[in-house]
Amino acid sequence: MLVKRFAEAKPYQAPNHFDMRSLRLQGFEEGGPRGFWVGLSHFLPGGGAGPDGSPLEKVYVVLAGHITVRAEGKEVVLGPLDSCCIGPDVVREVRNNSNEVATMLVVMPYPPAAVS
């Protein structure tokens, strides 16, 4: 069992994200999960990501605030404890269109280079 306290979480930079701060909660460390990692993203008002896609699927779980997700010609607003799965190679866009900070949990598999 690997316990990581919130105070120990390290920030990381997510490509093509803006007005967002992120912390790695689990993953990329000895004794951590082998198939996936977990991040926590705080999106400032007007903050977001994309549009872009990646070969990795991902799960978003909104913990606080509201996040608008656009993918595959659809748009949805996720609120607290709402979640969505974005498949591999799906171009998506994420935006916080509110005046509150929005917090989202992100679960993704490791990139192939990180697993080898």
For the stretch 92-110, pLDDT in tens is 999 999 999 999 999 999 9
Half-sphere exposure of 94 (CA within 13 A, CB side): 33
Q: Give domain limits for the chain.
A: 11-115
Q: Which CATH architecture has domain 11-115?
A: Sandwich (2.60)
pLDDT band at 21 (very low <50, low <70, confident <90, very high): very high
> Mean pLDDT, to the nearest integer, of 73-102?
97
CA distance 42 to 19: 9
pLDDT band at 112 (very low <50, low <70, confident <90, very high): confident
